[in-house]
Structure 1
């Protein structure tokens, strides 16, 4: 297909709390991806950095920051910020450059050095930002939001604390097999239940940590890949970055202009489901074609929601799918074979790139003990602040 680009290389810096600069992490991941691709940095036409708002000014110009760290060599540069979807937006920016003919081979890098504890708003007062309002007016940090969402699933679909715990058990077992994961230890459902309550009903082991880490990809045109000797590379076939379809929900403050033309009827489809649908439509595949999925498990209950939004099961059937083993290794559609955020924690600009790294290794058949047999089509999905979401479909 003409819209495909090749994934020539994938690399990561292990997640953890290392206490060093995000630039160091990103440089390690970039060099690993270049080595994996067999491409010299001097031959890269363009570099796209996923920004971190917590890294000072260098974090706001991540593309140039990584280009400087690797050595100025004249490549095009771009920097992208889209909260948790930054990495996927960076992939999409690189893909657009390749498909337009501006570049043949591009390095995409995301890295973060996250503070300890809950993320707080960055960038000053933002009264027109519903997420800022959630933090500042309601005091609802991310775990509070996760807890409310879990309560809703319990009330509407009958999910239980035991269902949530099984998500952690599954992902921790996979993370224990991943050398890049921060947490490499299996846990039991009893250990999840015994961990401290953070935002009822969710326990400490139901939610993800904040982490340092990095991920990088080398993307190229299919023509460059063939010239480079990659006759059957993993390909990115679709990247979805759609925004929600909602009526205006921001408080009508005097200094906030309201464009009546932008007010729309709400969609019957959830925002997360619309992200996945757009990716499926572009790629020409459906949920039944998916071999492996990497989803944004900020909390255990949110992973169950992604099962439904990706169309792996019907509404309210996520917990049933999990209990049947369909999303576990050996199941119909293994989910979060990397170990997910449960095992990694959040390194915000890197995580959507890390998801595609895992899909790449799975589709190549090089994921080791985590390998999904015969994987041919993979999907990633995440949702970020302020209408930023993404889904990437990779094939082989």
Structure 2
């Protein structure tokens, strides 16, 4: 029995700071995905919404919120929350419904209207919330642990601030070509070095912003796709949503250890590597088969770690891979040819979906100036708070 589902349509709302509600962004993305699929909203049997905790009650029931905004038509509805992994887990929920025969075609939508500055825990005092604990007990906002992680790479692997800057240079060049990106300007290494220090050694241009944005996919069974004229669609072959495997010495740590703040080795590294391993195993491929990757570059240093955790190179060789041009457009395995979060910023429920949108355009050969030659296999990767894994493998 096949475990693949077809990607019939993809759509996005441009990232930025638009000052409007998340529902508007999601509806624009959803309608674009439906148009791309050649389907009407009334053809959809199920809708899965990736939740946003910043959107009030409508954000907590995003599936129903988007269904209402598009017009009640009786579709099955599901809402999913997994922090930065919400989009990937929404895809997994949709795929499960299709493979179980509950729906032939499913619309997946994620959108966010982010506040200015770094993300704060939603609501008031929440001592059971890992974000709240991290902020209040450790004083560790997101840029703080990005900087700690960068320092560790410098100490252990010999990475330099110049290496980190080159990640931004690479990604900004791609973002400049992407009409959905928030930042569409090439950045030089000198400009990165001249930007303000935020969390040593990382500077302002090393760290991604927060953004508004939306993304959507139309997924279907392969049989439905063929009946609707898609003889050779992009197919999702694997979705990894695994949890960490920590050594016993780490199990007694508080819940903040399951956030990406817990970038301790080997625990944090093992978690990210296991996300990729599970995706490769389910897809029946290896890293040598990957044509391109879209990864979670919250900071420039973290992108280098993903090269290693996706097994695109050996541990410690991420900066070497970058220096050799392997991860640039035209290299052996281009990474973040969309421009990445460096060019988009975080719109949390949408970002894993946006990664799959980019991979889909690439596998279709419709990415324009960003096109990866002969792209056949794409992998996405990010992780969410509290141990949510996230990786998607798509093939053509």
- Does TM, scored on the shorter chain, surpass 0.5? yes
Paired residues in the alignment total: 383
1:223 counterpart residue number: 223
Structure 1 range deviating more: 116-125 or 16-25: 116-125
Does residue 140 (structure 1) correspond to residue 137 (structure 2)? The answer is no
**5+ unaligned residues in a row in structure 1: which ranges?**
253-265
Note closer, same or farther for the CA distance 1:347–1:68 as it changes in structure 2 (3 Å cut). Answer: same
Answer whether contact 2:269 2:309 (CA < 8 A) is retained.
no
2:152 counterpart residue number: 152
Q: Note the alpha carbon deviations across 1:102-129, whole angstroms, 9 max, x for none.
A: 0000000000000000101124444344
Note closer, same or farther for the CA distance 1:131–1:249 as it changes in structure 2 (3 Å cut). Answer: farther
Note closer, same or farther for the CA distance 1:54–1:130 as it changes in structure 2 (3 Å cut). Answer: closer
Note closer, same or farther for the CA distance 1:144–1:293 as it changes in structure 2 (3 Å cut). Answer: same
Does residue 320 (structure 1) correspond to residue 320 (structure 2)? The answer is yes
For the residues of structure 2 that align with 1:59 and 1:10, how far apart are their CA atoms?
A: 21
**How much does 1:130 deviate?**
3.8
1:362 counterpart residue number: 362
1:256 counterpart residue number: none
For the residues of structure 1 that align with 2:6 and 2:297, how far apart are their CA atoms?
A: 27
**How much does 1:132 deviate?**
2.8
For the residues of structure 2 that align with 1:394 and 1:10, how far apart are their CA atoms?
A: 13
Note closer, same or farther for the CA distance 1:140–1:269 as it changes in structure 2 (3 Å cut). Answer: closer
1:191 counterpart residue number: 191
Q: Note the alpha carbon deviations across 1:227-284, whole angstroms, 9 max, x for none.
A: 00000000000000000012424449xxxxxxxxxxxxx8796100000000000000
Instruction: Give the SS at the match of 1:173.
Output: helix
**5+ unaligned residues in a row in structure 2: which ranges?**
256-265
For the residues of structure 2 that align with 1:239 and 1:275, how far apart are their CA atoms?
A: 9
Note closer, same or farther for the CA distance 1:169–1:268 as it changes in structure 2 (3 Å cut). Answer: closer
Answer whether contact 1:94 1:219 (CA < 8 A) is retained.
yes
**How much does 1:142 deviate?**
0.4
For the residues of structure 1 that align with 2:211 and 2:392, how far apart are their CA atoms?
A: 23
Answer whether contact 1:130 1:250 (CA < 8 A) is retained.
no
TM-score (normalised: structure 1) = 0.95
2:167 counterpart residue number: 167
Note closer, same or farther for the CA distance 1:133–1:182 as it changes in structure 2 (3 Å cut). Answer: same
For the residues of structure 2 that align with 1:394 and 1:168, how far apart are their CA atoms?
A: 26
For the residues of structure 2 that align with 1:362 and 1:124, how far apart are their CA atoms?
A: 42
For the residues of structure 1 that align with 2:319 and 2:176, how far apart are their CA atoms?
A: 23
TM-score (normalised: structure 2) = 0.95
Q: Which residues of 2 match residues 31-110 of structure 1 at below 5 A?
A: 31-110=31-110
**How much does 1:352 deviate?**
0.2
For the residues of structure 1 that align with 2:140 and 2:191, how far apart are their CA atoms?
A: 26
For the residues of structure 2 that align with 1:231 and 1:196, how far apart are their CA atoms?
A: 51
For the residues of structure 2 that align with 1:282 and 1:124, how far apart are their CA atoms?
A: 40
Answer whether contact 1:110 1:349 (CA < 8 A) is retained.
yes
Structure 1 range deviating more: 312-321 or 267-276: 267-276
1:378 counterpart residue number: 378
Higher helix share: 2
Answer whether contact 2:26 2:110 (CA < 8 A) is retained.
yes
**How much does 1:131 deviate?**
3.6
**How much does 1:135 deviate?**
1.2
Answer whether contact 2:150 2:201 (CA < 8 A) is retained.
yes
Note closer, same or farther for the CA distance 1:267–1:182 as it changes in structure 2 (3 Å cut). Answer: closer
